[in-house]
Chains A and B, each alone.
Chain A
Amino acid sequence: QSVLTQPPSVSGAPGQRVTISCTGSSSNIGAGYDVHWYQQLPGTAPKLLIYRNNNRPSGVPDRFSGSKSATSASLAITGLQAEDEADYYCQSYDSSLSGSLFGGGTKLTVL
């Protein structure tokens, strides 16, 4: 079954660094397909945060960074701010689906 697994929740204090993992399989991340990350603030539509593993769209602060290895990827947020409190989703192409697959999402709480 095609699945991208994320931790349901992570938390950190202002100023700290947090990471969110995204674990896939041989039909998606492990097959070499890129990973993309989205931020969904409460009550709003998702917004592209990182594309093609480690690229930031214009306007996204460099506090956000992405990495990928083997069958997993990570989103790192440094200098945590209250405004970063949101849900974060990873996404990749999956060859079994012949389409897009999203992770289950991770809720970030800023303590």
Chain B
Amino acid sequence: QVQLLESGPGLVKPSETLSLTCTVSGGPVSSGSYYWSWIRQPPGKGLEWIGYIYYSGSTNYNPSLESRVTISLDTSKNQFSLKLSSVTAADTAVYYCARTSVITIFGVVRNNWFDPWGQGTLVTVSS
């Protein structure tokens, strides 16, 4: 069964770039059957979709974060990564990676759900 594990620094300074990696085991990220997503959850709050990437390299980001987000894929390491630039305290959250099942209509994603999820990693933005 597929398992995902997030890794990266737990503390990032304001204005710097947050970088996280999700390592996938039990299945290839190069599978055309799934997309790969990042989702975050500020302490005590709800879930926010950040974006996803397809094996082809195509991406889609939450418009509220799009100017600061980059998601990339490394098929040789079976990993995908998140970079979030110019962070502030508002970016403090548990960051999750998740495999994403998708339904497309004429090649455009029109439905998606997340399963499984990684265990999550807390990133704190503070000087």
Contacts and interface: CB of A to CB of B under 8 A. Distances in A.
B113 A51 contact: yes
A17 B114 CA distance: 26
Interface in B94-127: 96, 101, 103, 109-120
Residues of A contacting B: mostly:
strand
A23 to B, nearest CB: 15
A108 B63 CA distance: 31
Most buried by A among B37, B47, B110, B120: B47
A101 interface: yes
A51 B118 CA distance: 18
Contacts of B48: 102
Interface residues of A, number: 24
Interface in A91-111: 91, 93, 97-105
Given A48-B114, A99-B61, A93 B109 contact: yes
Given A33-B111, A91-B113, A93-B110, A45 B62 contact: no
Given A33-B111, A45-B96, A102 B47 contact: yes
Given A45-B96, A52-B113, A89 B46 contact: yes
Nearest to A95: B110
Contacts of B109: 93, 98
User: Which 3 residue pairs are nearest across A and B when measured between Cβ atoms?
Assistant: A48-B115, A100-B49, A36-B113
